[in-house]
Chains A and B, each alone.
Chain A
Amino acid sequence: MLPIDRNSVRSELLKVITTLRDDWDYSGEITEQTGIFQDLGFESIDAVALGSAIEDHYNRSLPFAEFLMKANERNAKDVTIGELVTFVVDHLSRTGKKP
């Protein structure tokens, strides 16, 4: 059973991202302020893969494309780990039924 409070989701998300370290040229600390594009050096397709990894981890479909599109629509320069945590907590908290 995976808890869905903010601390737990952040911890799970960081676990997912740190599994990539062996194939990643990033050794800095990852915090809620870390941007996945500008700091971690994600390309577009990496963000898509991250969405799939989160869904797989929680075994839930999440509207990740909508999340990224809305970030684009408001001309955001990056998506931070903190924003991702908020997105995941919001959607996991809503209902146990798949969207």
Chain B
Amino acid sequence: MSLTPTIGRRTALAGAAALAGTRIARAQTPAEVKLAMLVPLSGPWARSGLLEQMGARMAVDDINNAGGIKALGGAKVKLLEFDAGESAEKAKDAAQRMVAQEPDLSGGFGCWLSTFTLAATEVTERAELPWLTLSYSDLITNRGFKYVFQCSPTADAQAKELVPIIMDLAQSAGGKRPTKVAIVGDNSASSVSFYKAIHEIVVPEQKLTLVTDEVFTPPLADATTIVQKLRSGKPDFVLMQSTNAGDDRMLVDKFYEFGLTAQKMAMIGGGGHWCQPELTKLTTKEHLEGVIVGLANWPGKAMQDVNKRFIERTKEPWFGHDSLFGYTHVMTYVAAIEHAKSADRHKVMESLHTMDVTDGPARFFPDGRIKFDEKGRRVGAKLCIVQWRDGVPVPVFPTNVATHAAVWPKA
């Protein structure tokens, strides 16, 4: 009896030593590098999450087929997928589970919707796990966090940037600078901060007159009154800040019914959902024709090859905003790990902070550069503008990604 514990302890010690040994060896040349993806795979935002997942999976296959991560002796990338669900609480729970069950992650990305990202990053920051996100809310990088990196221009920056671009597009395509603007949109978080910037900064700076200002609570039940007000206000363009494809559809359908097409009044939608493939199924391409969309990224000329392979692989009609971000996040991590020559999360964080590249994954952004500032925001992040043409969104701005020229209604 008395011997058993001694032997037990000795065996345990030997085992621990062996484990420690493998751990050190592993840290030097990991067989695989684990990246986590936490996006909504169920609930109302599942479609966006699934599109991001498709992009991320393709990036992982691209890296592994090309020989893995070279600085780590060809270590393969392994993508661990987690469902953020349909609420901030679920997203936060999933993040907790992720950091608890996968202690050797090198980094992660998600959660598409700003609300979810805000919740999940409270966990990842405490676990000191690097986190890339496409979410727009400026709150995400306003908390003094060190491990969170926001790749999109923030919501308030987008508001300030979008209208001047639109004004320039209008002038070069239509010959006349717009003077009257309308706002139609819901009262969700990102929309509200967007309106604030429009009201306080953009309208006075651009010498615009706000003729219609219609805010609704999603989901939109009926757009008839909105159309009536637009018809009487006669704006040169309308900014549409809905946040889901159902409301987008309701707006364009009702506009079309009352003869308000994008050929008569320019329509500017905001956000990735305005370019999701479902929209063509929910409504018709005639209703969408000419609608302009401002969003954080879109595959441009440089990505024709990825674009083609993505469509072949997924049977989706195009490679868009959400999938592109999934793809880019994985590629950004790989670049950071190659640079750090380590998959250790702290080194990956430092590598992301010091990174300043204009090649590799930087090519996937319209402004062509990846450098994060102290807050973790991507320096010089630019908006992309796409326009619906014959049932497909095509990039029209900035010029380095544009495949088409913007069309503006003739006055």
Do A and B originate from a single complex?
no
Which B residues have a C-beta under 8 Å from some C-beta of A?
none
A residues in contact (CB < 8 Å) with B: none
